[in-house]
């Protein structure tokens, strides 16, 4: 019997993955760096600075820490401008039903996200009160695929990894979940993510059959 479910945020609870894509696209467009879904797939689930390092692989020169900080800040400003338009209407009915059902079954609920904007997004969408704990990119030293953020979420909930499901749409997150000793559930995604996870769901309400 599981006691808790830990959710990734971007692309699982809210479609902020699309906004991250657009913000990276704006930055790379200004810099004249090629950027599309193939590169973006590698950014899913990982931290802002790790994402930037991947984006800058296409540029044949080194960037100073100050230049990188400025580029990361530019991307984040673009992201926050897009995220300012988010509201409770951006939470799918499937997400609401799943969270309600899990809560009714007595499960503890947490968010485990690499994003440093996770709490802001949870507030904007009205999802914050649905969770017992939030572990995000501001609270860890090693981002996914390291398990630290999920271990932090489990510790905040007071459960062991074996007692929790982790719901993820990205390969980095599924690896983090598995390496941390959690049961990984792939949400959506493609064959690669699905193969790495113990379970696969197409909708979050399907989680109610797994707990
Ligand atoms: P933050 C974001 C990254 O910028 C983005 O590339 C990742 O896909 C996303 O986290 C994964 O959740 O981090 O800039 O919101 O801190």
pTM: 0.96
Mean pLDDT, rounded, for 112-125: 98
pLDDT band at 206 (very low <50, low <70, confident <90, very high): very high
Domain boundaries, the chain: 4-15+90-209, 17-83
Query: What is the longest distance spanned by two Cα atoms in the chain?
Result: 54
CB of 125 closer than 6 angstroms to any ligand 1 atom: no
- Residue 45: the pLDDT is 93
192 has pLDDT over 90: no
Tally the C-alpha atoms within 13 A of residue 127's C-alpha that lie toward its C-beta.
Answer: 30
Residue nearest to atom 4 of ligand 1 (CA): 48
Superfamily designation of domain 17-83: Putative phosphatase; domain 2 (1.10.150.240)
3-class DSSP assignment, residue 200: strand
For the structural domain made of 4-15+90-209, what CATH number should be given? 3.40.50.1000
Residue from 16, 48, 83, 86 to probe ligand 1 pocket by mutation (most atoms less than 8 Å from CB): 48
61 has pLDDT over 80: yes
- Residue 193: the pLDDT is 67
> Do you find a cis peptide bond into 145, omega within 30 degrees of 0?
yes
Enzyme catalytic residues: 8, 10
pLDDT, mean over the chain: 96
């Amino acid at each position: 019997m599981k006691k808790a479910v830990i959710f990734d945020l971007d692309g699982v609870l809210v479609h902020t993955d699309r906004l991250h894509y657009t913000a990276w696209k704006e930055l790379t467009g200004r810099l004249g760096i090629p950027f599309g879904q193939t590169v973006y797939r590698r950014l899913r689930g990982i931290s802002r600075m790790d994402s930037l390092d991947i984006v800058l692989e296409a540029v044949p020169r080194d960037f100073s820490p100050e230049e990188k900080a400025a580029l990361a800040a530019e991307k984040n400003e673009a992201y926050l401008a897009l995220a300012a338009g988010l509201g409770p209407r951006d939470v799918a009915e499937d997400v609401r039903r799943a969270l309600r059902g899990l809560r009714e079954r007595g499960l503890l609920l947490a968010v485990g996200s690499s994003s440093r904007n996770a709490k802001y997004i949870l507030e904007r969408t009205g999802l914050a009160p649905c969770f017992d704990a939030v572990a995000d990119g501001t609270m860890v030293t090693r981002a996914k695929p390291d398990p630290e953020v999920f271990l932090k979420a489990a510790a905040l909930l007071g459960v062991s990894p074996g007692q929790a499901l982790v719901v993820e749409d990205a390969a980095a997150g599924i690896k983090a979940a598995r390496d941390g000793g959690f049961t990984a559930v792939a949400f959506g995604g493609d064959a690669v993510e699905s193969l790495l996870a113990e379970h696969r769901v197409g909708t979050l309400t399907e989680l109610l059959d797994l707990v």
